[in-house]
Structures are given as C-alpha cells and as structure tokens.
Amino acid sequence: MLKSFHTLFRDGPRPGVGRRIIKPPADAIMLILSNDDAEKLLTMGDCIAALEQVYGEMAEGHAANAVRSDAVTQTARADTVYSLKMMGGVVQASGIAVVRINSDILSFANKRQVKLPLAPGNRYTGLVLLFSIATGEPLAIFPDGILQRLRVGATSALGARYLARKDASIVAVIGAGWQAGGHVMAIAAQRKLDGCRLDEIRCYSPTADKRAAFCREMEEITGVKVRAAASPEEAIRGAGIVLCATNASQQVFMKSRVEPGMYVCTIRGPELEPAVVLDADIAAVNDRVVHENVATTKGVVLPKQRHAIAGFDVASAPTLAELVAGMARGRQTPEQTTVFVNLPGLGLQFAAVGAALYEKARAAGRGHELPTDWFTEDVVP
C-alpha cells in the first residue's frame, strides 16, 4: 500500500461539467506517470465526475467499450496460473482511447482469488496506455494500481447516487483489503458531494487485527467514524448502504440480512446469495456484457461463474449508463431494496479516469517525458 490516500479523498468537482477534448501535445511528448502521480493528483471527486460523464456518453453512443479478453495458462507452480488480461475503449467526447493490460500470476487457494507479486522486487504488473483518437499517437503510460482502486470504488459510489436513499447515514463494508478501502473513500466522498449525512461506516472482515487497523486508517483519511464490527450481522444491522468488497469466491452476504430500503453493492458475483439480487426491487448492473472472452491452455481449470449470479436475467437489468442518462429509473421510494452488481469491469472506466490523470499531470508538469517517436513507427503495421 502507498503511504497515504489523503489526496485521493479531497473534494473534487461536481459531476455534469462538460469535458474538453484532449489534444496531443505540440512537442510530440509522451508521459510516463506513476502510482505516486495518481495518488497526488487525483481526488475521488475527480473520479466520480469523470465516470459519470463517460457513462452518460456511453448511453448516448459516444463511447465504445472493448470486450475484455483473458488468456490463461499453467505455470511451473501447481497452485497458480498465469493470466494475460486486456480491456479497452474509446471516448469520442474527450478524444481518448485506452488499453489496460494485466500480466498476472493468480492463486485460487482458500476459496479466494489472489494476485501474487512475483515480478522482481515483489511487485505486480498492470499497465494503462492512453492514445489520441485524432492522431493515433500514444499520450501516456502508467501503472493501473491506484486507478484500479479508484475506478471500482467510485463506480460503486456512483451506483449509490442513483440507487441509495438520500438519508442513508450508516454504511456497512464487508472486507478490509485494498478494494474495501477504495469503497470507504468513495462512498464518503459521494455522500459529501451530494450533501448526504454520513454518521458511521462499519467494517467487518474475518481477521480482527486487520479490520481494526483498516478502520483506524480509513477514519483518519475520511474524517468519518469507521468502526470495526465483530460479525457481518453487527456491521449490516440498520445500515442503509452495504458495500461488499472482498476477493472471496463464496457468499458473504445473505438474503436474510436485507432490510427494507437497503442499497447493496457487490464487486464479485459469488459475494451475494442470488436471492439478494433476484428479490430486489431494482437490480442494476455496471454493464450487461458479463461474459468474458477467456481462452485457456490444456489442463487449466478456473473457478466457475466468477462474474455471474445464478438466475439473474442480466439482459433485462438497467445499466449504470442508463441510470446516469435518465434512460432507466433509479430508486423511487424509501422502502425499495436496490442492488448494484458492479460487474464486469469496463475499459472505458480507465479511459475516463486516465484522461483526468493525464490532464492534471500535464497541467502540474508531473511525469517523465519521452519522445513520442520512440513509440511510433514509419512503416505500416
């Protein structure tokens, strides 16, 4: 984990402001940025605003998301697989195209999906590349770690803007890891931006020491009371917003825990008992394309239904883009139970948040500059 995320939590602009087209620099320079640049430059408000903008453009047909593709093979270690993941998208309004690439060693031990830091120095490999749709040239390259955390948490918080009660002042978070922290920061920022009261955030995870440390860190960052709960029931009881942000491949939230008026969000299909989604008054999805283009070499066995929820008719569910654009109705009454299935991840999220990072980096003079012609060629590819 990086040193601090205070800068990520700072207030950002309110959504709805038009985005100007990003033009390639006249001096033919490509920026190499770091996770540290993203941490210092981007606020959670920036990310929520950028995502709301791009979802509206997606609904109106001015942005196109590329289908995610995974290629998986065995490794020398019997308990792991290698996965090459690619996703991307194009945004007409900002003039940006994006590709995100992950080169991962994955373990599925103990019913959890875990990425292993096996690159030199105990590090991970994930890259985002921004391109200009005006010239095709590369604009920037940077690691995906901070943006990944930002875009997932901000998307769940954006779902809450349309599906949660305005008076929901207690939030429960299931999980105390990297993504759970992003969700705490995002929901705190969203409630503040929208003028909603937020009295307490409760966190449950199985390890007492980990959840206690998590709560101390998140309370310091957000300024909101963050309390450790000894059980899922203690965390969830009376909460108007429940955010499931784990790496579990088994259910962590059951239908019996749903209360009238609750907003429930998941970032992994197996986290929820299917009845939570099937019995909700409104069950929305990040996007209807929940399938993955997964190719495996012989002998690879992956967990089934990593992104699917049994019996859930995704084809008829409203999408976040439709909620943002007013093409689908969000919460209508305080008593409705609502669910946001924050799946699957979209390349367009990286286009939105990456463009915001690029603009801020150019304005602040951050990053390492390299000649663009190092990354282009004078023969037809």
Q: What is the CATH number of domain 6-147+347-374?
A: 3.30.1780.10
Q: Is residue 36 within 8 Å of 364, Cβ to Cβ?
A: no
Nearest to 350, CA basis, from 139, 69, 151, 143: 151
Tokens 């990003």, residue located: 22
Global pTM reads 0.92
Do 142 and 34 touch, CB atoms closer than 8 A?
yes
State whether residue 356 is helix, strand or coil.
helix
pLDDT at 377: 95
What is the biggest distance separating any 2 CA atoms in the chain, rounded to whole angstroms?
63
- Rounded to an integer, what distance in angstroms lies between the CA atom of residue 307 and that of residue 302? 12
Residue ranges of the chain assigned to CATH 3.40.50.720: 156-341
The pLDDT of residue 15: 41
* Burial classification of residue 58, based on how many CB atoms lie within 10 Å of its CB (0-12 exposed, 13-18 middle, 19 or more buried): buried
Q: Could you tell me where the beta strands, DSSP code E, fall in 133-204? A: 138-143, 170-174, 200-204
Kind and range of the H or E element at 127?
Answer: strand 126-132
- Assigned architecture for domain 156-341: 3-Layer(aba) Sandwich (3.40)
Answer yes or no: are the C-beta atoms of 15 and 352 closer than 8 Å. no
Q: β-strand 338-341 against 282-285: which pairing, if any?
A: parallel
Q: Where in the chain is the domain with CATH 3.30.1780.10?
A: 6-147+347-374
CA distance 361 to 98: 17
Spans of the chain below 70 pLDDT: 1-20, 290-292, 304-307
pLDDT given for residue 4 in this prediction: 45
Contact 165, 261 (CB under 8 A): yes
